[in-house]
Structure 1
Amino acid sequence: MNRRGTAGGSPLRIYAVGLLDATGLGMYLSFAAVYLNQALDLSNSHVALILGTAGVGSLLGAIPVARFADRCGLRRALVILFAARALSYVGLSMAAGLWTAMAAAAFGGLLNRGIGPLVQTALIDGLRHEDAVAPLARLRALRNAGMALGALPTGVAVAVGDELAYRAIMGASATVFVLCAVLSWSLPRAASSGARRLGKPGLVGNGPFLRVTALYSALILSAILLGTGMALWITQQTDLPHWMVSTNYVLNTVLVVVFQARLARGSESPLTARRMMVAGGLLAAGGAAVASLTGRGDGWPPVALMLLAVVLMTGAEIYVMAGATSLALVHTPQEHRSTYLATFNLGFGVATVVGPSLISISLDHDAAGWLAWAVFLALAAVASLTLPLAPPGADGPRRKAEGAPRRTTEGDRA
């Protein structure tokens, strides 16, 4: 078996696609609200309607996009989908009002959450579960860097404050997706192997996979708590300086990019992966408990406590992502990875939809809100101890569960 996957030994091109995809998406996510308000002169309610429609569309489109790739092949699907996404952003850059912006954003939204899992599948296509963990961790680190890079040009456009500058950012995002389509077209035809995958994925009957996905959805709420919750808490409920909001974001991004791949090591063992989910939940609970102490006092002590909370919750984010991804792959059929990874990634999608509202309501109750989240995350961590380590009837689950050492190959170090 080709340990580098069926993409024909071209992981660097797939990493490049993943980085560019995240960069273009980062441009949109960091800028969409400002663009719609300033360039199109839409009200806040109309902006919320457009972004909400796009968000719901991204949840609805993820599985159909994955099934499309299963039928026509990863390479062809990526080219078509990136080209379609580029068109949607061209439409958004040329939108004249509410309805044209709504149509473009909704079309792009249908594709936004489904493409990422296809890039993941292309990277690990043909690899065994234990060989797929490290490449996925590197891809996640690159995507986090890409999201941060994508946010940089938006500051320039805001500083210029001209409608043409605003529209240029959306046009630049479309150009990035055109580059993704070109790079995807350059992948070897081996990456089209998915075209043979016509059987039913059997998601509904895969209880272990669904349990991993459900607990991942619960635990990854800590990432939303870190992003949205910390910002609301700092600006509304504490005397902390408001520059802590951007400081927290930068610290979280740097830690994830630097340590994502390193801390994911060992998660190819299902037992270690499960322990990572438990540890991630406990770290998140600890971070929430520490954050509850920052609402009173002034000076450096609450600042130091907030930074500690960010470090703890960033570690939680890394461990939860690495452990849950690995366990999900254990229960994923090779021939349906696109569909299963799309379903797994919906866990984060659901968290981004329901999380902000729950967090906003809970943090209105001062420190008690943080402590409630600490209890919730600790319970989710304990529940992770019950996750199965191998599919029922799998051969050799004991060796894999115990994390037996295996030889390192050139493919693992690539």
Structure 2
Amino acid sequence: MLWIALINKAGTGLWMGAAALYFTLVTGLSIAEVGVLMGVSGAVGIAGAPLAGHLADRFPVTRVIIGAQLQQAVALLALLTTDNFSLLLLYSAVSSLADRGANVLTKLYAARIAGPERTKYQAVQRTVANAGWAIGGLAGALALAVGTTHAYQALLIGNVVSFVAAAVLTLRCAEPPSPSRLVTDSTAPARTTPPSNPWRDRSYLLFTATEAALFLDDAVLQVGMPLWIVHATDAPHGLAPLLMVLNCVLVVCCQVPLSRFGGTPEKARGLLLPLAACFVIGCAAMTASVAGGTSLAVGALAVAAIALTFAEILHSIASWELSIALAPDDAQGAYLGVHGLSSAAQRSGGPLIVTAVIAAGPLAWPLLGAGVIGTVAAQSHLVRKQLSRRGGSADAAVAQRQRSQRLGS
């Protein structure tokens, strides 16, 4: 799966930086139409996470991954066939649906294939994915320098080819054992109770809601920082892509080493406090960047990018471990699908929150940091209660088995 992640994200890196320009310069859409297209397709994509998780509890996860990869390839290829706004919106929405589903499926595959080493495996996979994204982004930048219609079309086709190649490689991957797949073999004992339902698990839904807020570092880095640099500071505009490169380099270098601090649910919960500290430092640095002068702006923005990147790294480790630890074995896919709503919702709502902060001015950044502190406190309390409850249930089950063994003897 690591080679698949590299190829997949390299293809995505090719296309994502050129998508908005393709729709305006090649298909002739207005800026307003591009905004609607991306907003609506992103909103449709939110449904992809729970749908993919539901399917993965009932079918082999590798086959569902292949389906998502081919769906993205076909939908993107269809973009080349039209400049009609309605059709472009439809194809983009179909691609977004598969994209959000694929993210959940790859995490579920990692959880099943790696077992107790899932946190380290996911960290390695995320590192490889970031490397692929950087490679694709650099290659895309070279193609964009040409600026012709054929150059934009080549980037889109490159992304299509990456999905097809990833699907072919996924065919060769072993299917991991699934504790949650429904048994259909007539010789196997029938399931006596229905599988757990995440939509009826109030604690998991609350956990997912807090997660949506903690994913805001993504919107701040990708949307807020470039806009803040251009509209509020004296920093050169060219600093924005350099800070994105810095983000990728830090993730590649630090994700795996830091993963050892989140290898258990309790350790993962312990990462929430430094996560909040990093986010607050990043917000404070964003405020400081407007205090005056180019040098101060550049230095403060570099501090902000570094702090927010470490918040991103720590959150990815904690989020990954806790989302699995709080999910029952009989419905892992369904629970991870619901958890996937948090990142999908942030993709839609995060840019709105961040642009509102920018419009409000420098003092709004500390308020955003304070909101994250409150969210972290709420999530930490919620997770502690859930882990204690699960620990108590496990202890009770062990005691019951021991009593049964004594009676049997």
TM more than 0.5: yes
Alpha-carbon spacing, 1:192–1:164, altered in 2? closer, same or farther (3 Å):
farther
State how far apart, in whole Å, the 2-side matches of 1:192 and 1:378 are: 36
Match of 2:271 among 263, 276, 283: 276
Match of 1:68 among 55, 64, 72: 55
Residue number in structure 2 paired with 1:392? 389
The yes-or-no answer on 1:139 pairing with 2:134 is no
The yes-or-no answer on 1:364 pairing with 2:359 is yes
Match of 1:266 among 246, 257, 261: 261
Deviates more, 1:244-253 or 1:65-74: 65-74
AA paired with 1:217? A
Q: Structure 2 matches for 1:208-247, cutoff 5 A?
A: 208-247=203-242
State how far apart, in whole Å, the 1-side matches of 2:314 and 2:217 are: 12
State how far apart, in whole Å, the 2-side matches of 1:177 and 1:193 are: 28
Q: Structure 2 matches for 1:36-75, cutoff 5 A?
A: 36-75=23-62
Q: Deviations over 1:85-137 (max 9, x none)?
A: 21111111232332332222121111110012212222221554x42111111
Q: TM-score, normalised by structure 1?
A: 0.86
Deviation at 1:335, TM superposition (A): 3.6
State how far apart, in whole Å, the 2-side matches of 1:35 and 1:386 are: 46
Which residues of structure 1 form unaligned runs of 5+? 1-13, 399-414
Moved over 4 A (4+): 189-195, 395-398
| Contact 2:123/2:255, CA 8 A, preserved across alignment | yes
Match of 1:307 among 302, 308, 311: 302
Q: Deviations over 1:337-385 (max 9, x none)?
A: 2222222222111112111111112222221111211211222233233
Residue number in structure 1 paired with 2:74? 87
The yes-or-no answer on 1:182 pairing with 2:168 is yes
Deviation at 1:333, TM superposition (A): 2.1
Q: Deviations over 1:14-66 (max 9, x none)?
A: 11222222222333322211111111111112212221222112102221122
Match of 2:377 among 374, 382, 395: 382
Alpha-carbon spacing, 1:391–1:94, altered in 2? closer, same or farther (3 Å):
farther
State how far apart, in whole Å, the 2-side matches of 1:217 and 1:141 are: 22
SS of the residue aligned with 2:198? coil
Alpha-carbon spacing, 1:332–1:375, altered in 2? closer, same or farther (3 Å):
same
Residue number in structure 2 paired with 1:111? 98
State how far apart, in whole Å, the 1-side matches of 2:139 and 2:84 are: 24
AA paired with 1:296? A
SS of the residue aligned with 1:71? coil
The yes-or-no answer on 1:289 pairing with 2:276 is no
Q: Percent identity?
A: 24
State how far apart, in whole Å, the 2-side matches of 1:385 and 1:160 are: 50
AA paired with 1:286? I
State how far apart, in whole Å, the 2-side matches of 1:194 and 1:85 are: 26
Match of 1:148 among 117, 134, 153: 134
Residue number in structure 2 paired with 1:30? 17
State how far apart, in whole Å, the 2-side matches of 1:85 and 1:284 are: 33
Deviation at 1:386, TM superposition (A): 0.7
Aligned residues: 384
State how far apart, in whole Å, the 2-side matches of 1:152 and 1:342 are: 32
State how far apart, in whole Å, the 2-side matches of 1:316 and 1:301 are: 22
Alpha-carbon spacing, 1:56–1:391, altered in 2? closer, same or farther (3 Å):
farther
Alpha-carbon spacing, 1:188–1:279, altered in 2? closer, same or farther (3 Å):
same
| Contact 1:229/1:360, CA 8 A, preserved across alignment | yes
Match of 1:343 among 338, 341, 346: 338
| Contact 2:127/2:255, CA 8 A, preserved across alignment | yes
| Contact 1:27/1:173, CA 8 A, preserved across alignment | yes
| Contact 2:179/2:330, CA 8 A, preserved across alignment | no
State how far apart, in whole Å, the 1-side matches of 2:217 and 2:177 are: 35
Deviates more, 1:89-98 or 1:244-253: 89-98
